[in-house]
Amino acid sequence: MNIIAELKSIAVPPEDEYREFNRRIVATGREMIGVRMPALRALAKRIAANPEAQKYLATTPGKTYEEVLLYGLVLARRANMRPTAKTPAMPLEELFTRLESLIPLFDSWAHVDVIISDFKLFRRHQTEVFARFAPLKTHAGEFHKRTFVVMMMAFFLDAEHIDTTLEELAGVPQGQYYVDMALAWALAEALVKHYDRTEPLLRRPVFSRFVHNKAIQKARESFRITPEQKEKLKEFKIMNHES
């Protein structure tokens, strides 16, 4: 399977402005082929359903932005598939190992957000997922930490885990832009889903001024927060330059 050829066959025409527009949005340092997300997902679906999918996953993703994204989408789709005689279930250990090898290749928020949120089966294996990927929380890599935050937001904001999740988010080292933005996003989502259990975290300076205020901003922009809650959140905004 020639992945580069496959990707180029579904890429936008060279004169299309999508490639440069998307490069600015996703802020990747990798070469971009220029494939729109629906086409990339369709290709991932086709590869995952192919009996040769395991051979593909045994290879190392290429150097382009889309190759990394495609590999993650195929891995997630393959892991989420119901097992059949032709496509047996992927063992968790294999899945974790392949994902651990993929994460260091992330160089864009889009790699993290698109790929990680696709692992729907993680909701059924929260204990194993947390135990395996908790070390990402304090990893030096910006996108390693963002991966941890997005995992917590995507799979651990349920009623059973919300309190532990908030504690874990508070322990993520701050100061890197894409980590801070993910933390603000996760806190806003926590406010939407469990306002009463999240609000106390904003009553004291747990997060940096940027993360704290950005979380409030994002929550107040949400249609899922009541007008009363939005007014209350305004009281917690940090007005000075203290962290």
Per residue in 209-222, pLDDT (tens digit) is 999 999 999 999 99
pLDDT at position 19 is 85
State how far Cα 225 lies from the chain centre. Answer: 23
pLDDT cut 70: percent of the chain above it: 99
- At position 52, the amino acid (one-letter code) is E
Which of 91, 108, 124 terminates a domain? The answer is 124
- The answer to the question of residue 129 being in a domain is no
Residue with tokens 């993703």: 61
Nearest to 183 by CA among 197, 161, 202: 202
Q: Convert the pLDDT of each residue in 62-102 to its tens digit.
A: 999 999 999 999 999 999 998 887 788 899 999 999 999 99
Same domain, 75 and 11: yes
What's the rounded mean pLDDT across residues 98-121? 98
Is residue 24 packed enough to be buried (19+ CB in 10 Å), middle (13-18) or exposed (0-12)?
A: exposed
Q: The domain containing residue 23 runs over which residues? A: 1-124
pLDDT at 43 over 70: yes
Please provide residue 238's backbone torsions phi and psi, each rounded to the nearest 5 degrees.
-85, 115
pLDDT band at 118 (very low <50, low <70, confident <90, very high): very high
Is residue 130 included in any domain, yes or no? no
Average pLDDT (196-205) is: 93
Residue with tokens 């306002």: 195
- Average pLDDT over every residue of 27-55: 94
Q: Is the pLDDT of residue 243 over 50?
A: no
According to the model, what pLDDT value does residue 169 have? 98
173 and 243, same structural domain?
A: yes
Domain endpoint, select from 124, 156, 174: 124
Q: Evaluate whether residue 186 is within a structural domain.
A: yes
Residue bearing tokens 């747990």:
206
Residue 153 sits in the same domain as residue 106: no
Residues 154, 226 within the same domain: yes
Cα atoms found within 13 Å of the Cα of residue 20, Cβ hemisphere only: 4
Cα–Cα dist 75/58, whole Å: 10
103 plus 159 within the same structural domain:
no
Within-domain flag for 141: no
Same domain, 185 and 117: no
pLDDT digits (tens, 9 = 90+) for 167-178: 999 999 999 999
Domain assignment present for residue 136? The answer is no
Q: What is the mean pLDDT of residues 22-40?
A: 94
One domain for residues 105 and 54: yes
For residue 240, the model assigns a pLDDT of: 74
Domain count, the chain: 2
Judgement on whether residues 31 and 99 belong to the same structural domain of the protein = yes
Residues 73 and 171 placed together within one structural domain of the fold: no
More confidently predicted of 182 and 240? 182
Asked if residue 214 and residue 102 are part of one domain, the reply reads no
**Both 162 and 76 in a single domain?**
no
Domain assignment of residue 140, yes or no = no
- If pLDDT is split at 50, 70 and 90, which confidence band does 51 have? confident
The average pLDDT across 97-123 equals 98
Cα distance between residue 152 and residue 150, in whole Å: 5
109 and 180, same domain (yes or no) = no
**Mean pLDDT over each residue of the chain, to the nearest integer:** 94
Residue 101 is predicted with a pLDDT of 97
